[in-house]
Chains A and B, each alone.
Chain A
Amino acid sequence: MSETLTLILQGVVDRLHLQATTYLPSLIAAGIVILGALVIATVARRILYRIFKGAAIDRFMRRTGLAHLIDPSGRLRATRITAEAAYWSILTVGVLAGLSVFGTDLTAHLIQSFVFLIPRLVIAGLIILAGAWLSHYLARCALVWAFNENLPYPRRLAVGVRTMVFFVAIVVASDHLNFARDVFLTAFIIFVGGFVLAVSLAVGIGASGRIKGYLGEKEKRIEDREPVRSLWHHL
């Protein structure tokens, strides 16, 4: 009985010893690689914070409204973006290099999948960013237009436009990533269909009197040649 127990324990100890002697050096090596990457990333980030100014990028982001979009406080600078991008890129490469030390099929597959995913992730990220920018831009256009046309609830209209455009961007990005493609597409169709139906019902039932009044007032203004809105009084 005791012999059997000793044998089992011996087996366990041997296996642990074997695994430790097999994987521990790799683990230590991976740790060292990742630690090294962390140090390099931190140093690179500090250096970039000090030397990289990126005035032209700042100007571009400010002028396009991207800076405000990504960081509403408006304090986002190219220096920060570049430094953080360098930090996370170096760290990611370090982690992948650290994983590759193990040399197993699993890690190799993991690294390969991730590397192949990177371009798609970048493009999907750009699609989302462009969609966010476009949704903001079009929402602002809709807001100002609706306000100046005296339409009811211009802010809600703007939010609707922004949501719709951003949703389109998400659908395109998910399609590109091949991620829950059907779910997003179906949701989008339901969303747009529902929106159109709601608007139709609102116009047809709820807001018909209001729209009639608005159109009647506009027509009356044209007929009366109302002085307040005539061109030359303002100029």
Chain B
Amino acid sequence: MEDNVLPAEAERALAAIKQADIVIGIPSFNNARTIDHVVKACYAGLSKYFPQLRGVVINSDGGSTDDTREAVLSAKVDDHSLMLLSTPLYPLHRLSFPYHGIPGKGSAFRMVFEMARRLGASACAVVDSDLRSITPEWIDLLLRPILFAKYDFVAPYYHRHKYDGTITNSIVYPLTRTLYGAQVRQPIGGDFGVSPAVMKCYLGKDVWETDVARFGIDIWMTTVAVAEGFRVCQSFLGAKLHDAKDPGADLSAMLQQVVSSVFDLMHVYESVWQRGRGSSAVPLFGFRFDVGLDPIHVDVDRMLTQFRRGAAELGDIWDICLLPDTLSEIRKLASDSNSHRGFHIDDTLWARVVMEFSRAYRTNPILRSQLVRSLTPLYLGRVASFVIQTENLASSEVEDRIEGLCLAFERLKPYLVSLWSGERPQHTDAGETATPEPDSGGKNALEVGNV
């Protein structure tokens, strides 16, 4: 298997380097414009925070045609005097290879993890190649909990605009928290630190020819780490600013990729999530600070128009996914609200929608793609409702609202369990009170606060 994972030039590099303590992976595809900055930040982070360790930066490229690999190899990284860095004891290596396998971020990570394993690295971090806000501190924050506090998986924690990351806030975070009981705030953040034990676990899974290799790697890594009982923590990285993405990207395709990945993992870890109730905080490292964020303009009217249009056009498909009570409430909302001021999809109704879609996804394998894509107008309705409710709220108050949504999801977990067991559940708005389990995450000297 290993022979297929690594290209011949990577094998030669491994033979030359022989051993490393830290590996940083940067997956890329046509990121020549931004990857130079990321490589410099990785180099500076390794030099400044881990000068005594052997470090390797590996760019795993998906066949870029814009000289991304050349940008990695030619990035100037010797401005140590300007950055007041320590002098590393060992030379830092910089490698760039095209990965093997099906195109996708997962395949890129697979190559990085395989090389880290073969080099005997004690910790590995992966960061996106289009980051504009990465600093050398990110490397420290992603690696130190693994190297010195025996954590296995470090998830990122970003400061984000209240209307940024709406799929995370309205679906992925509440659902994964409810399912697996760990409050990992950014489960699809994209920048992670992992221990050798987790890497070995990842590499041993037979998922590298599936959608995990294409697009579902972020949520897969987080879920596997949490569901398989690894020690998980978070690091506060400040703001996450990307290179501008394709604004014409199809929202329904994006939603399908993310939601399908979460639902697929629900199937894999059904026996795990059906046991627990409530959730516990995950230790958060790093010094929290407020940063200026790019403003985000949202068009509520357009979202509501899409929601109402969806209720009028996609009723047949929603009929497959939603139970009659839920569907009638949605239809009532769509027909009632003429002005957007009074529009509100409450937390419980939204939680039921997501849970009922997960059931439909499970029981209708052939229709999965269509079912999840038909969630788009419902999601837009929920985002519109969220924007209306939080228009005048500060970030911390918005975070409280998201916490309220998560608690609504947790209260409805018995409902989800009965949906999956094929029973016809009776929902009550009161639901069951979520009883948080004792915090199992070990606190230590590195920890500065919990969220």
Give A contacts to B, CB under 8 Å: 62-65, 68, 137, 140-141, 143-145, 147-148, 154-155, 218, 221-222, 224-235
Main secondary structure of the interface of A (DSSP, over half): helix
Among A68, A227, A231, the residue within 8 A (CB) of B249 is A231
**Known contacts A147-B377, A227-B297, A231-B254; A137 and B317 CB within 8 A of each other:** no
Bound-state CA distance A71–B331 (Å) is 24
Q: Is B252 an interface residue when CB atoms closer than 8 A count as contact?
A: yes
Question: Which A residue's beta carbon lies closest to that of B128?
Answer: A232
Q: List 5 A-B contacts (CB under 8 A).
A: A64-B366, A144-B374, A147-B314, A147-B377, A235-B258
Q: Is the CB of B365 within 8 A of A63?
A: yes
Residue among B164, B167, B247, B363 with most chain A CB within 10 A: B247
Cβ of B313 and Cβ of A147 under 8 Å apart?
Answer: yes
CB nearest neighbor in A for B380: A228
Nearest Cβ on chain B to A49's Cβ, whole angstroms: 22
B156 within 8 A of A: no
**Which residues 335-365 of B sit at the A interface, judged by CB distance below 8 A?**
363-365
Residues B314 and A144 in contact, CB atoms below 8 Å apart:
yes
- Whether A229 contacts B188 by the Cβ 8 Å rule is no
Interface, chain B (partner A; CB < 8 A)? 163-168, 188, 242, 244-252, 254-255, 258, 296-299, 302-303, 309-310, 313-314, 316-317, 320, 363-367, 370, 373-374, 376-377
- Whether A147 contacts B366 in the complex (CB less than 8 A), given A235-B165, A235-B188, comes out as no
Pairwise interchain contact A230-B245, C-beta atoms closer than 8 A: yes
CB distance from A151 to the nearest CB of B (A): 10
* Chain B min CB distance to A70 (Å): 15
Residue with the greatest number of chain B CB neighbours at <10 A, chosen from A137, A141, A154, A227: A227
Cα A231 to Cα B252 with chains together (Å): 11
Chain B residues near A222: list those with CB within 8 A: 247-248
CB nearest neighbor in B for A154: B313
- Contact residue among B165, B249, B366 (Cβ-Cβ distance under 8 Å from A229): B249
Chain A residues with Cβ below 8 Å from B302 are 228
Q: B303 to chain A: which residues have CB within 8 Å?
A: 228
B247 A221 Cβ-Cβ under 8 A:
yes
